[in-house]
């Protein structure tokens, strides 16, 4: 593939970590790719034959986004989230969403301390590096909305006082298809806060055979060795924000998202938050490939998982069984791709 050679005009942090001051961007990209692949291989010890889903989940982590995994029960949605938490030596918590779950059960609550004669905030399970929101669409819309602020601003406001969550912070939400009993559709505002929506899917024949063979003696989640610390992840996130993006690639991202807003098949296109999400994800994908610059192929590869769930079809398109992914595929095919200089 032809390399893109640009002058690096990307914004630099005010005080970059010492490692970034001592090494060149290409060397750092190589180190990023090595650790990324190590994490993916570790998670694959549990999630067999789903390398693409594993890599997309890790891209969410390093892009400081959130992941929505939708699939039928029993395909490994929860196991994927727990495997990420096990591979990264960071604090993680699980919330089982049920119809009677309250917003304060997620964010926390202020309790009056009689000994000190004042209210004290007791943190909820959302105060962790990795939060597993299991079967998120089984809770009421009121409870689902408790995640809106923390997913976007990485803080929880209780009694007018903000409480920041730790970094890195990743919400991995699983949901069953909305046509199953006891589920509530996620509101558009919350869907837009997920960087990606993916499906794990059924394993292939060989992978399922390996799963069956490994049941009695196979590697279990509680024995999975962590291969990265929270500080390592934070450093990789910092590097990903420094991956260079040339002006033609910026234009390409905006053109793709802009085309969704004028498509006759869609009544709601991608918001500017979608453009930013695609940019962040493309930077991580470039670094995971050992590059310190983004190419258009990075954007194309991530367009469907990052953008499709943000689109709302027209009633006519729904009647014709048109999918958002299919509409996005047409837009990708019809949007000119910038060429390397």
Provide the CATH number for the domain around residue 300: 1.10.8.80
208 and 330 inside one domain? no
176 and 324 inside one domain? no
The predicted pLDDT at position 86 comes to 86
Domain CATH for 88: 3.40.50.300
231 and 303 inside one domain? no
Residue 188 has, within 13 A of its CA and on its CB side, a CA count of: 12
C-beta separation of 126 from 149 below 8 A: no
The predicted pLDDT at position 206 comes to 80
Q: For residues 325 and 336, give the distance between their C-alpha atoms in angstroms, rounded to a whole number.
A: 18
326 and 337 inside one domain? yes
The pTM score is 0.84
**Strand pairing of 170-175 and 130-134?**
parallel
Closest CA to 55 of 292, 287, 254, 318: 287
Of 211, 242, 273, the domain-final residue: 242
Domain span at residue 300 reads 245-341
The predicted pLDDT at position 203 comes to 75
Residue 297 has, within 13 A of its CA and on its CB side, a CA count of: 9
329 and 250 inside one domain? yes
Say if 13 falls within a structural domain. no
The predicted pLDDT at position 214 comes to 64
The predicted pLDDT at position 278 comes to 96
99 and 212 inside one domain? yes
Closest CA to 175 of 87, 81, 269, 60: 81
Say if 12 falls within a structural domain. no
Q: Which tokens sit at 293?
A: 């610059």
Instruction: Report, in angstroms and rounded to the nearest whole number, the Rg of the chain calculated over CA atoms.
Output: 21
Q: For residues 232 and 236, give the distance between their C-alpha atoms in angstroms, rounded to a whole number.
A: 6
Distances (CA, A) of 313 to 103, 107, 174: 30, 33, 23
Say if 275 falls within a structural domain. yes
Q: Which tokens sit at 16?
A: 């970059």
65 and 213 inside one domain? yes
The predicted pLDDT at position 85 comes to 84
284 and 318 inside one domain? yes
237 and 256 inside one domain? no
The predicted pLDDT at position 215 comes to 56
Count up the domains in the chain and report the number.
Answer: 2
The predicted pLDDT at position 260 comes to 95
Altogether, the residues listed in the chain come to a count of 341
The predicted pLDDT at position 3 comes to 45
The predicted pLDDT at position 4 comes to 44
Q: Show the low-confidence residues of the chain (pLDDT under 50).
A: 1-21, 216-218
Say if 1 falls within a structural domain. no
The predicted pLDDT at position 310 comes to 93
C-beta separation of 286 from 299 below 8 A: no
The predicted pLDDT at position 296 comes to 95
290 and 227 inside one domain? no
Say if 292 falls within a structural domain. yes
């Amino acid at each position: 593939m032809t390399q893109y050679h640009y002058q690096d005009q990307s914004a630099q942090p005010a005080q970059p970590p010492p490692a970034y001051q001592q090494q060149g961007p290409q060397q750092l990209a190589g180190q990023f790719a090595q650790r990324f692949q190590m994490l993916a291989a570790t998670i694959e010890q549990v999630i067999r034959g789903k390398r693409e889903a594993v890599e997309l989940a890790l891209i969410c982590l390093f892009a400081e986004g959130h992941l929505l995994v939708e699939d039928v029960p029993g395909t490994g949605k929860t196991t994927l989230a727990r495997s990420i938490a096990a591979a990264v030596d960071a604090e993680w918590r699980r919330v089982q969403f049920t119809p009677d779950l309250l917003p304060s059960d997620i964010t926390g609550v202020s309790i009056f301390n009689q000994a000190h004669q004042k209210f004290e905030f007791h943190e909820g399970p959302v105060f962790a590096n990795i939060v597993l929101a299991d079967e998120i669409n089984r809770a009421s819309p009121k409870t689902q909305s408790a995640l809106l602020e923390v997913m976007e601003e990485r803080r929880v406001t209780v009694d007018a006082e903000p409480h920041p969550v730790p970094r890195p912070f990743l919400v991995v939400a699983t949901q069953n298809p909305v046509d199953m009993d006891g589920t509530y559709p996620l509101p558009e505002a919350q869907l837009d806060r997920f960087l990606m929506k993916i499906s794990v899917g059924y394993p292939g024949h060989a992978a399922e055979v390996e799963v069956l063979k490994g049941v009695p003696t196979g590697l279990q989640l509680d024995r999975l060795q962590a291969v990265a610390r929270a500080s390592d992840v934070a450093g990789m996130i910092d590097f990903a924000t420094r991956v260079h993006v040339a002006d033609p690639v910026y234009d390409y991202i905006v053109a793709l998202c802009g085309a969704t807003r004028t498509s006759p098949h869609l009544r709601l296109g991608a918001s500017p938050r979608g453009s930013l999400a695609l940019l962040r994800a493309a930077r991580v994908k470039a670094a995971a490939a050992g590059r310190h610059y983004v190419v258009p192929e990075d954007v194309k590869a991530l367009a469907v998982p990052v953008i499709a769930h943000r689109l709302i079809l027209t009633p006519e398109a729904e009647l014709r069984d048109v999918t958002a992914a299919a509409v996005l595929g047409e837009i990708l095919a019809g949007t000119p791709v910038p060429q390397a200089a």
